[in-house]
Amino acid sequence: GESDIIVTSFFIHEYKEYHRFEFTASIYDDQLCLIAPAASFMPKSYMPILPFAPDVWAILALYNLVVSVLWFFIKYYSVSFRRREAVLLPLTKADGSRPIMTDSTSRRSQDDGGGGTTAQRAFLFGTLFFGLIVTGLYQSCLVSSLSNPFHHPELTTLEDVANSNLTIITKYDNLRENTFTDNTSLACRLKDKVRLVPFDKRTNDMVAFDKNVTALSRFASVKLDNLSNYFDEDGNELLHIVEECPTTYLLSYIVQLYSPYRERINGLLLRMQEAGLIGLWYSNMTYPMYADEQRRKMAKSDRRIKLTLEHYSLTFLGLSLGLLFCAIVFLAELYFAKQ
């Protein structure tokens, strides 16, 4: 009861412990979001196999197998259709000698293999064209990875957060009690992860550097924070905002219960809101952080990763294993040939 108004935005919510105040007209809405550590990068040696997902690699392997089988059938049936069998015509000489054997075709195919049929050429052209497309996509993904390296999937949904081994932290007991209150299994799993932390610790530092927690925070407050310290030496972000937010609240100031200034304060706030002043002030405050973020992105886009032997270590390992297998098969053939 010592202040007439507290000009600090609060979530409009029924707090069970406090009843001697009331909310003003809402100023704007804000989301309660989760700040998670940014996903780590994939090992450099995995770069040759990362352009395509595992299921795409499986489909390509199956495609090569199907193409080989189809090529065999097309070649076999093309030769069969071109082959013509000799037939006996009912022609005999007047002197009663043996019948004359004639060929029903004017000319037998000289070579079953030949230069290939039209079906074989069309099939070969289609497979080569498809291979050219796949190779182009593969090369473009590799080139783009030099400026945007491959990394593990980010946490994008609340289900991802629940399935992770990250603890959800907050400094405010009311957030812990009034968040994830739905009667669902997902909400119960998330609520069990929420822990309180001391006020003397910075939640962003714990999320960015400990990498084993996520933090509950207001989305507008995150945009107002100076996050320039949460980038690594290559300009990559250390913090990531989960796209799916637990809830959205309206924000307002609080005044004394039955305050005589309530109507005038509400009228003033509504006029400022309708005039767009609150949105303008917020945009002006967040613009410097937005400009810094865009400059960092431009500087990052100009950087290129230098290729090292580590990028090709897995490729060389695969080639070495293939060469070793071929050598073993060759020696085995020599051994059995001498038997």
Last residue of a domain, one of 116, 149, 182: 149
Domain count, the chain: 2
Q: What DSSP line would sit under 137-154, residue for residue?
A: HHHHHHHHTTTS--BPPP
113 located within any domain? no
Last residue of a domain, one of 149, 184, 202: 149
Q: Are residues 193 and 71 in the same domain?
A: no
Name the pTM for this structure. Answer: 0.67
Residue 111 is predicted with a pLDDT of 46
Residue 264, classed as helix, strand or coil, is helix
* All residues at 6 or more sequence positions from 59 whose CB lies less than 8 Å from its CB, including other chains: none
Residue 35 is predicted with a pLDDT of 92
Taking each helix axis as running N to C, give the angle between helix 262-274 and helix 277-302, from 0 to 180 degrees, rounded to the nearest 10: 50
Residue 36 is predicted with a pLDDT of 92
272 located within any domain? yes
19 located within any domain? yes
Q: Are residues 64 and 205 in the same domain?
A: no
* All residues at 6 or more sequence positions from 161 whose CB lies less than 8 Å from its CB, including other chains: 34, 36, 155, 168, 190, 193, 214, 242
Q: Are residues 26 and 55 in the same domain?
A: no
259 located within any domain? yes
Q: Are residues 210 and 132 in the same domain?
A: no
Taking each helix axis as running N to C, give the angle between helix 118-144 and helix 54-82, from 0 to 180 degrees, rounded to the nearest 10: 160
State the greatest distance between any 2 C-alpha atoms of the chain, in Å, as a whole number.
139
Q: Are residues 162 and 64 in the same domain?
A: no
φ, ψ for residue 271 (rounded to 5)? -65, -40
* CA distance linking residue 217 with residue 158, whole number of Å: 14
Q: Are residues 68 and 22 in the same domain?
A: no
* CA distance linking residue 253 with residue 157, whole number of Å: 31
Q: What is the pLDDT along the chain (339 residues), one digit of tens a residue?
A: 577 788 877 787 777 666 678 888 888 888 889 999 988 888 878 888 888 888 999 999 999 999 989 888 888 777 666 655 444 445 454 455 555 454 444 444 444 445 567 888 888 888 999 999 998 988 888 887 777 778 888 889 999 999 988 999 998 888 888 888 888 899 899 999 998 888 777 888 889 888 889 999 888 888 888 787 888 777 778 898 999 888 888 888 888 888 888 899 999 989 998 898 888 988 898 888 888 888 877 777 666 667 777 777 888 888 899 999 999 999 999 888 887
317 located within any domain? no
Q: Are residues 144 and 160 in the same domain?
A: no
Residue 33, classed as helix, strand or coil, is strand
Q: Are residues 144 and 208 in the same domain?
A: no
Residue 6 is predicted with a pLDDT of 80
Residue 231 is predicted with a pLDDT of 82
Q: Are residues 141 and 179 in the same domain?
A: no
Tokens of 236: 């990559």
Residue 176 is predicted with a pLDDT of 84
133 located within any domain? yes
330 located within any domain? no
Q: Are residues 65 and 188 in the same domain?
A: no
Q: Are residues 290 and 211 in the same domain?
A: yes
Q: Are residues 130 and 11 in the same domain?
A: no
Single out the residue of 33, 41, 42 nearest to residue 214, CA to CA. Answer: 33
| CATH at 186 | 3.40.190.10
Helix/strand/coil (H, E, C) string of 167-233? EEEECCHHHHHHCCCCCCHHHHHHHHHEEECCCCCCHHHHHHHHCCEEEEEEHHHHHHCCCCCCECC
> What is the domain range of residue 249?
5-40+156-302
